[in-house]
Amino acid sequence: MYPITTAHYIALSAALLLIGTVGVLTRRNIVIILMSIELILNAVNINLVAFSQALRNLNGQIFAIFVITDAVAEAAVGLGILIALFRNKETVLADEVDLLKW
């Protein structure tokens, strides 16, 4: 059996980061983009906790709590912006919101 080392956690975190980044960049629906952002944040959390365990330091975990709090706030605000957007523009698709262009 292979032991689950820190590297596995980092790889998992990296994978989730990449998936989240691609999702932010690629998906049309703003709700999905928000969900992708959550995914990135969670990836960061996993990274932090893994290193906290590896370095036998509690700072990582504490930081992860902060990140969770921050993610929650951000999601709330983001959804509020989305609802306001929908009220004005009748759409939830990112590429239809392109007024600020040349």
Partner 1 sequence: MNFLDLIWLIPLFPLAGALLMLLFGKLLDPQPPSEVAVAPGVEHTHDEHGHAHDRGSGHSHDGHDHHGHGSPLKKLVSLICPGVVLISLLLSIGAVWQLSQQAQKVHQVIQFTWLAGLPFHLMDGRLATFSADWGFLLDPLSSVMILVVTGVGFLIHVYSIGYMAHDNGYYRFFGYLNLFIFFMLMLVLANNYTLLFVGWEGVGLCSYLLIGFYFHKKSAADAGKKAFIVNRVGDAGFILGMLLMFSVLGTVRFLDVNAALRGGQFHAETAGFGVLSAIALLFFIGATGKSAQFPLYVWLPDAMEGPTPVSALIHAATMVTAGVYMVARSSALFQLTPQTLSIVATIGAFTAIFAATIALVQNDIKRVLAYSTVSQLGYMFLALGVGAYWVGIFHLFTHAFFKALLFLCSGSVIHAMGGEQDMRYMGGLKDKIPITHWTMWIATMAIAGIPGFAGFFSKDEILWQAYSSPLGSKTLWAVGVVTAGLTAFYMWRLMAMTFYGKSRVSREAAAHIHESPPSMTVPLTVLAAGSVLAGWLAVPKAFHLPEIFYTFERWLSSLAPEETLHETAQGAGMEWILMGLSVTVAILGIYVAFRFYQAKPEIPEGLARRFQPLYKILYNKYYVDEIYDFLFVNGLGKGGGEVMGAFDRNVVDGAVNGAGWLTRFSSTVSMWWDTWIVDGAVRLGSFTVKLLSYPVCILQTGRVQAYALFVVVGVLVFFGYYLAGK
Is residue 99 close enough to count as binding partner 1 by CB under 8 A? yes
Please report whether residue 88 would count as binding partner 1 according to CB under 8 A: no
Verify binding: residue 53, partner 1, rule CB under 8 A: no
Angle CA(24)–CA(26)–CA(28) in degrees, nearest 5?
90
Smallest gap from residue 53 Cβ to partner 1 (A) = 25
Structure letter (DSSP) for residue 55: T
Stretch that binds partner 1, among 2-10, 24-32, 53-61, 62-70 (CB under 8 A): 24-32
Residues 6 or more apart in contact with residue 37 via CB below 8 angstroms: 20, 24, 74, 75, 78
Using the rule CB under 8 A, is 21 a contact of partner 1? yes
Nearest to 23 by CA among 13, 32, 31, 11: 32
Binding region for partner 1 (CB under 8 A): 21, 24-26, 33, 94-95, 97-102
